[in-house]
Amino acid sequence: MKVFKRGILVLFVALLAGSVYAQESYDDAVNIYNTALEQAKAKNYDAAISSYEKAASIGASLGTQQGTDIKTRAEQQIPKVALNKAASLFNGFKQSKQIADLDKAIDAFKNAGGIAKQYNDQNVERTAVSYVPQLYYQKAIMLFNRENYEQADVALNEAIRANSNYALPYYQKGLVVKKTSPEDLDGILNWFDQAIAIGEQTNQGKVVRRTNQAAHDELLFRGAKSIEAKSYAKAIELLKLALTYESESADVHYRLAEAYNKRSEFDKAIASANQALEFENGGKTDRAKIYFELGLAYQSKSQKAEACKAYTDALYGSFKGPAEHAMEFELKCKSAQ
């Protein structure tokens, strides 16, 4: 009988000790949680994450509602701290402007996205993931400006891998090709076309406009160079392609008028010159070159009155002399007498 009583006493003491231990463990979890809060405020992010993980682990081991609560609270904080760490590193990069610091920020945002996914925090995951392609693009721009085109292209590929619907990297890859393989017009336009298509699908209107302008400018430049080289058919091909990117380009229509005049296709030159005049927003000096091509086309068709009128409107800037000469000595326009 004494043995029985002693056994009961031992059991009672053991249960009491277990209860005290459980209570102390919960208090420990709370204390560690509070420590994590202070560590996070002090921007000691790795220590804060470690403390939150420890608090969550203790809470899970308790098997009580209180334990579950502290576990949930701690786990909710972990993704937020990881995101704050990434943001802090990005701010550090903005101060230093060093690619090495940007790489740290990129890795931190990637890590924050993975942690957020682990703890099912969709808001943090979405935010963290959205930064990664943008920062890779920023890295690419820095490398591009330093003429490190190979590594810039690597960074652009990473940006596209992180978000294939991000239009800017496609545009920038076109510029990389332009720098590294300027003869590869198809390669340049291929990336520009992808940027435009993705931009249109995802309402990135600013990128679409920028890319259309870049493609237009490239083709206009090459078309003008082809005219200088007397490759008029090639010039017309390039300039017509330019119009697919900017149909109301006064400069392209003017250059087409010039190329058509060189090929003695005067009706087409007149049509292109009139289109150029319709879209030209500049003053008389800007319009003079167009009127000169128009006058030349009419003169070549022996339409004196129309030619004289066009040349009269071309009497500005560098075209004044040639227009006056044609009016006075070739056409003998009344207005020139």
Summarised one tens digit per residue, pLDDT across range 201-257 is: 999 999 999 999 999 999 999 999 999 999 999 999 999 999 999 999 999 999 999
Helix (H, G, I), strand (E, B) or coil at 98: coil
Q: Residue 9: is its pLDDT beyond 50?
A: no
Q: How many CA atoms lie within 13 A of 47 on its CB side?
A: 12
Task: Give the DSSP letter string of 174-233.
Answer: HHHHHHH-TT-HHHHHHHHHHHHHHHHHTT-HHHHHHHHHHHHHHHHHHHHHHHHTT-HH
Report the pLDDT value the prediction gives residue 1, as an integer from 0 to 100: 36
CATH number, position 314: 1.25.40.10
Query: How confident is the model over 45-57, as pLDDT tens digits?
Result: 999 999 999 999 9
Please indicate, yes or no, if residue 161 is contained in any of the structural domains. no
Residues 255 and 223 sit within 8 Å (Cβ to Cβ): yes
CA atoms of 211 and 196, how far apart (whole Å): 7
Range of the structural domain that residue 290 is part of: 248-337
CA atoms of 226 and 258, how far apart (whole Å): 11
Query: How confident is the model over 182-202, as pLDDT tens digits?
Result: 999 999 999 999 999 999 999
CA dihedral 120, 124, 130, 133 (to 10 degrees): -80
Query: How confident is the model over 304-316, as pLDDT tens digits?
Result: 999 999 999 999 9
pTM more than 0.85: yes
Give the angle 267-327-315 at the CA atoms, nearest 5°.
90
Please indicate, yes or no, if residue 262 is contained in any of the structural domains. yes
Please indicate, yes or no, if residue 315 is contained in any of the structural domains. yes
CA atoms of 170 and 160, how far apart (whole Å): 8
Please indicate, yes or no, if residue 145 is contained in any of the structural domains. no
Report the pLDDT value the prediction gives residue 20, as an integer from 0 to 100: 41
Query: How confident is the model over 65-122, as pLDDT tens digits?
Result: 999 999 999 999 999 999 999 999 999 999 999 999 999 999 999 999 999 999 999 9
Give the chain's length: 337
Spacing of C-alpha 105 from chain mean position: 18
Count other Cβ atoms within 10 Å, centred on residue 70.
23
Report the pLDDT value the prediction gives residue 7, as an integer from 0 to 100: 38
Please indicate, yes or no, if residue 276 is contained in any of the structural domains. yes
Report the pLDDT value the prediction gives residue 335, as an integer from 0 to 100: 76
Please indicate, yes or no, if residue 257 is contained in any of the structural domains. yes
Please indicate, yes or no, if residue 163 is contained in any of the structural domains. no
Residues 6+ apart with CB under 8 A from 181: 187
Q: Residue 17: is its pLDDT beyond 50?
A: no
Helix (H, G, I), strand (E, B) or coil at 280: coil
Query: How confident is the model over 125-164, as pLDDT tens digits?
Result: 999 999 999 999 999 999 999 999 999 999 999 999 999 9
CA atoms of 116 and 4, how far apart (whole Å): 55
Q: Residue 287: is its pLDDT beyond 70?
A: yes
Please indicate, yes or no, if residue 149 is contained in any of the structural domains. no
Q: Residue 12: is its pLDDT beyond 70?
A: no
The DSSP letter of residue 330 is I
- Token pair 């190329």 is found at 259
Report the pLDDT value the prediction gives residue 223, as an integer from 0 to 100: 98
Report the pLDDT value the prediction gives residue 58, as an integer from 0 to 100: 97
Please count the structural domains in the chain.
1
Q: Which of 4-8, 33-37, 56-60, 126-130 is least confident?
A: 4-8
